Structure 1
Amino acid sequence: MGAGLVAVSCSRTENLQVKAAKAPDPPTVAVAKATTEDLAHNLILTAEFKPFQEVDVMAKVAGYVKKINVDIGDQVKQGQLLAVLEIPEMIDDLTRAKAAVERAQAEVARANDELKRAQSAHEIAHLSFTRLSAVAKQKPGLVAQQEIDDAQSKDLVSEAQISAARSNLTAAEQQVHVNNAELQKLKTMYDYAMVTAPFAGVVTKRYADTGSMIQAGTASNTQAMPLVRLSENSLLRLILPVPESVVPTIHIGQQVEVRVPTLTRTFSGRVARFADKVMYSTRTMDTEVDVPNPNRTLIPGMYAEVNLSVASRHDVVAIPIPAVEAGSDPSSGQVTVITPDNRVEVRQVKLGLETSTKVEVRSGLKEGDLVVIGTRSGLEPGQEVRPKLTTMGAP
């Protein structure tokens, strides 16, 4: 009988060991931790750098290039002398205009003398008429009436001559003003023979050489040749075609990141201006970003990728996008949470801003919660699991 009890006891021990061997280990699931961070929804747009301003420098007067002081690649300052034109006929015009001014001034002097002479003649004629009139009143009949009438006539004539002399003097003075204006105009035109830089920049093209004939670039119907092309490259601009859906988020002064693939560098830029109108053909709005380029590292023509921030959230709870099962609308979803005792729990969450890798959770989770990011098939609420923390990419 003792042998029987030993046999039964051994059999039970073996059964318990078999059952213990058959009990499965908790499954391992990949999880991520809910974190508090800043999220931003960015739009990448590509554009080509353009000079802030660029102009073909024209001559306002026609002439031959006497001297050109710059060449391609030269940095120039505003007002710096670029070229000098030779205009021989304009020197003759200046000489003639100066002579005209001197002649007009001589006419003023002559007219002034004529006025003084007329005033003197008037004083004598008026004095004679006054004396004769006084004698005639005191002693009637002593002076013939004809003599008095002649004196009065001469007085009136001399007075009219004063008015004429004053008119002549005024006309001569006005002629001086006219001739001075013509002389000043010619001097101004002659100054245009000195072609200067309208702004600080770099010479990107040279059209003319010494001795070249340059036509005046003042008429749209003439094919005038420029002297040089000048570009302001210390500040560059990017013209971005912003989609219609993003237009409401654009504002002046908005800071953007500008990545230049050829340089593998990132620069800072600022939204400086926009068209404030959506083009019908493309449904986009031209938006200009200014990028400072003080060291001339960037070159017009380079392509750039602009990281335009469409929306942003600060200090929000975020989880990886694969952790969310879509709900009935974009603002709701479902996540599988691993509790502190390693049990499965399904929660409904409210969602917010979504980036390329993460999504904002407005309610339903707190910082530090573990959410399943791998496959959730086969997991049941309350089931024990073994969580394995996995790091996802940055937002």
Structure 2
Amino acid sequence: MPEAPVPHTIEPQATTPDTMSAPAMASPRRVGLFLLLGLAGLGGVLWITFSSRLEAQEKLREITAAATVPSVSVVQPSEVRPRPLTLPGRLVAWAEAPVYARTSGFLARRLVDIGDVVTAGQLLAVIDAPEVEQQLAAATAALATVRAQRDLSARSAQRWNELVARSVVSQQATDERRGDLAVRSAQLTQAEAELNRLRALTGFTQMVAPFGGTVTSRGTDVGALINAGATASAALFTITDSSKLRLYLRVPQAYAAAIGPGVTAQFTVPEHGDQAFTAELTRTADALDVQSGSMLVQFTVDNAADLLKPGGYAQVRLELPPGTGANQVRIPASALIFRSAGTSVAVVDDQGKVSVKPVRIARDHGAHLDIGSGLERGEWVINSPSDAIRSGDMVRPNRPAP
């Protein structure tokens, strides 16, 4: 039988520091490394947290600073280009004369009516004035009487002059005859003047047209009593010459200096729609009306075609010469600042600094204003500024998109 194997017995060896295993020796190093890494991670977390807080505080500071600077809307002034000036006008006849009676009586005949075209000197009406005719007859007789008395006085004075030369009569008596002759001569002159006056009144019984034109009004009829010289008497006829018309309009003071030679006018009237008529500048008042602050201007219109009627309203378009309104800019009316020092606007530079500048208004269009001086086109103007805004304030301008 085979022999059973004899078991080998391993005797334990003594453990010494030199014989300790490597893993047991490395455990404290790993712990230290892990501790160092943990501290580094904690420091990183703390740094990130601190940095985020600093960044948040900086952002808060920026937001707070931005909140203290107000945001404003800004606009740039636009250029004012010369453009035609449109004004209301009034058409007036070139010549218009009311015809009044110079002799009292009754209207015997009426030869014209409204709308009739008459020529200069044409008979319009005849007045029956029997009282004037009787006065004329009496004045004629009175003149003959005074003339006879003057002739007798002249012969008497001549005789007395011959007698006083021979010392037959006194000088006093001769002077009395000479004085009587002077009185009779003056009475003759007076009688002749009265007769001429009555003859003129008799001639006024025939009413004639002072010039050629159209009868535009009639204030009497056959049989009407004519009371010449009465303060409340109306004109019997009105004669109007409308072959040419005067176009009157009032130009505002801001444009008064531009009215001169070379200015033309195009105008329309309601009864002819869009048909344009031309007028030529003839006269200006060369003075401003105190109440309206405007200057009266007269244009001449050729009306040979008789298309226009005197007294009509016209919409006038003035072609102003180049240079009118130069160096002017236009801004919204809401950008204007009213203060005790006058009108002004708030301007912002590229750094957001405000400058309040006084301006002069050239023309008010309602929603917009034309600025004559104090503002340039390239500047940025605050629209609807605060009443408390001052020069030197800082703002954040919101410029419109291009």
Q: TM-score, normalised by structure 1?
A: 0.56
Could you tell me which of 184, 205, 223 is aligned with 2:217?
205
Cα deviation, 1:18-51, whole Å, max 9, x if unaligned, reads xxxxxxxxxxxxxxxxxxxxx9732122323222
Residue 299 of structure 1 corresponds to 309
Aligned equivalents of 2:199, 2:163: Cα separation in 1: 43
Counterpart pick for 1:103 among 134, 145, 153: 145
Matched, 1:232 2:241: yes
The answer to whether 1:284 aligns with 2:326 is no
- CA drift at 1:59: 1.0
Deviation, 1:249, is 0.6
Q: What's the offset of the Cα at 1:279?
A: 3.7
Matching residue's letter, 1:176: L
Whole-angstrom CA distance in 2 between matches of 1:252 and 1:110: 71
1:90 aligns with 2:132: yes
Based on CA coordinates, which of the two structures has the bigger radius of gyration?
2
Deviations 1:305-348, CA, capped at 9 Å, x for gaps: 322121238xxxxxxxxxxxxxxxxxxxxxxxxxxxxxxxxxxx
* Unmatched runs of 5 consecutive residues or more in structure 2: 1-80, 324-400
Alpha-carbon contact 2:280-2:299 (below 8 Å) kept: yes
Maintained 8 Å contact 1:41/1:312: no
Partner of 2:156: 114
Does 2:267 correspond to 1:258?
A: yes
Which of 62, 84, 87 matches 1:45?
Answer: 87
For 1:311, the equivalent position in structure 2 comes to 321
Letter in 1 for 2:93: P
The Cα of 1:159 is off from its aligned counterpart by 4.2
> Unpaired runs of 5+ in structure 1?
1-38, 127-154, 314-376, 379-395
Whether the 8 Å CA contact 1:66–1:84 is kept in 2: the answer is: yes
Q: CA deviation at 1:295?
A: 2.6
Output the aligned Cα RMSD: 2.7
TM-score between both structures, scaled by the size of structure 2: 0.55
Aligned residue runs from structure 1 range 141-156, under 5 A: 155=167
Contact 1:256 1:307 in 2 (8 A): yes
2:192 to 160, 169, 180: 180
Distance 1:59 1:174 in 2: 31
Cα distance change on mapping 1:46 and 1:225 into 2, 3 Å: closer
Residue number in structure 1 paired with 2:108:
66
Higher relative contact order (CA 8 A, sep 6+): 1
Alpha-carbon deviation of 1:178? 1.1
Aligned 8 A contact 2:263 2:320 in 1? no
The equivalent of 1:147 in structure 2 is: none
CA distance in 2, matches of 1:121, 1:283: 81
Asked whether the 8 Å contact 2:107–2:225 carries over to 1, the reply is: yes
**Percentage identity across paired residues of the two chains:** 30
Q: Deviations over 1:244-301 (max 9, x none)?
A: 2111111267432233453343322122333333345543323222212123121124
